[in-house]
Structure formats: structure tokens, C-alpha cells
Amino acid sequence: MSRLGVGLRRIVQLIEEGGPFVQGTVVASGAGAPLPVGYRVAWRPGHLIEGASGDGALDSALQASAATALAGEKPAESCLGSDGISVPMRRRSHGVDVAPRTLEVSWLPHVPEERLLIFGAGHVAVPLCAMAATVGYAVTVVDDRARFATSERFPLAREVIVRDFVDAIQTMAMTPWTSVVLVTRGHEHDETCLAHVVTSAVRYVGMIGSRRRVKVVHDRLVAAGVASDALDRVHAPIGLDLGGRSPAEIALAILAEIVLVRRGGTGAHLSRGSLRP
């Protein structure tokens, strides 16, 4: 630990480890504040803040601010008194108007790459893979049929796997930065895959099918011991109601729902909201 908190070598190490963390840097420091400009802290979910000031209240506030920045997945700022209480931001363009004993901290979240796992390599999976890759998802496509799961059909996929669904899903990390789409050719495959992911940490899980098919899978899993409230998080039938019919339109509806869940949108028409300057 350097006199400016967490060293750059440690920041690089955290980046290389690949897990989510937040880097905080003091960008303004009022007279009598406990930390100087340039002081760095780092926070990982489930851990205490690294580079702690030694003051319990301030360190708790720093950790809470870091958690908020990570949840938003975008750079953020906070202004804290030396007692850890949030105060209004006062820093101006030249950084000369900082309240005494206050810190202004800039937060930079580092989050893992967003992954999309598509189980089933049929007609909907092809445009879904292409669209998802275009908006930045690392896409993996899985199917047990070699003639469907090919790099020629999925040129933008990060990985195309020809393997039994159960064998494949058991080897995959299910994280909060993972979305899972089940578009297999039969409800027995959907049921098998869903049983493995429904209680995992994935951000999104959706399953294609009619309401009748979805109910069959739901009832069978409940009978097998899966909690009904765990199944409530499954988006099924999958996607937003865009009125689409073609495979590409259905894929668009699925991706729109994935993005909505990730970003916390409403799905409302923007044109029908209040106009802002």
C-alpha cells in the first residue's frame, strides 16, 4: 500500500483477475480532509474496501458509494464529509471551491464482459446471435446437432459448442453478467437447461414457447422440487411484445428484453413521455 492508497500494480492485478471491482480516486480534498488528492481505493463485492482510511464511518461510506457505482455500471462521483456523511458536490471547474474536511471521489467501475448463452441453434438463434454480438455481448451458442451449431451459421459468435445441453451447461460460469436464452427444439431440453440456471446468479433467463408449453415446463419443474418463486424470474414466453413474427423480429424482441433488464428500462414509448430540453 502506497501513501496514496492502493497502488497501480494492485489495480492492474484486479483488472487481470477479471472480476467486478470499483476503483475510486480522490479528485478534490478540502482543508483538513483525511485523504489527499490522488488517493486511491478499490472495492470488490463481498470484500472490505482496499486502501481504507482507518475511519470506520468514512470507510463504510466509501464502500457504499463504490457499490452504487458498480450497480450503475458507469463512472460516478460522490462527495463525503470526513464523518462519512454525503454532502452536495461543490467542486468547480478549477477545483478551488471544496468544502473543508470533505472529499470528492471519482468512481470507475470495472465489470466483466457481458455474456449471452444461447441454448439451441435454430432459426431464431441465428439473428439473435448476430444482433447481440453487434451490441457488445460475447455470445456462446450450444446445440447437440452438429449441422446446426456451426461457425458458418454463427460467424459473430465467440464460441459455438456442439455438445449435449446438460454436459455443456454444467461447465459454464453463471454470473450476474450472464444472460441465458433457451430456444431449443423441445420442452424437454428447455426443462433440463432451466433446472440448471433458474437458481443461479445470471442476470436474465428467458425461454421461448407458447404459454401452454411454458406452463408444462413450469409444472414439471415444480413437481421435481424447484421452488415456484425461483421460476417467477424466468421470462417466458420470452421477449417484449413487439408484434413480430419472423425469426429476426422475434430475436429483436428477445434482445430488447435482455437490454431492458440489464439497463433497468421501462419499455415505454419515449415519444409519449414528457419532453425535456
Domain boundary among 110, 144, 173: 110
pLDDT computed for residue 93 by the predictor = 42
On whether residue 81 sits in a domain, the answer given is: yes
Which residues are 104's β-sheet partners?
A: 28, 79
Q: Can you give the pTM of this predicted structure?
A: 0.79
Read off the C-alpha cell for 71.
450497480
Domain boundary among 110, 131, 165: 110
pLDDT computed for residue 101 by the predictor = 87
The answer, yes or no, to whether the previous bond of 109 is cis (omega within 30 of 0) is no
Read off the C-alpha cell for 207.
425461454
Going 106 to 17 to 201 to 260, the CA torsion angle's sign is: positive
pLDDT computed for residue 37 by the predictor = 92
Q: Please provide the average confidence, as pLDDT, over all residues in the chain.
A: 89
pLDDT tier at 76, thresholds 50, 70, 90: very high
Number of compact structural domains in the chain: 2
On whether residue 271 sits in a domain, the answer given is: no
On whether residue 3 sits in a domain, the answer given is: no
Number of other CB atoms surrounding residue 3 within 10 Å:
8
CATH of the domain at 234: 3.40.50.720
On whether residue 78 sits in a domain, the answer given is: yes
- Tell me the per-residue pLDDT of 207-266, one tens digit each, with 9 for 90 and over: 998 888 888 888 888 888 888 888 889 999 999 999 999 999 999 999 999 999 998 898
Full residue range of the structural domain in which residue 17 is found: 8-110
pLDDT computed for residue 90 by the predictor = 61
pLDDT computed for residue 97 by the predictor = 66
Which residue do the cell numbers 464460441 mark? 159
On whether residue 268 sits in a domain, the answer given is: no
pLDDT computed for residue 2 by the predictor = 67
On whether residue 40 sits in a domain, the answer given is: yes
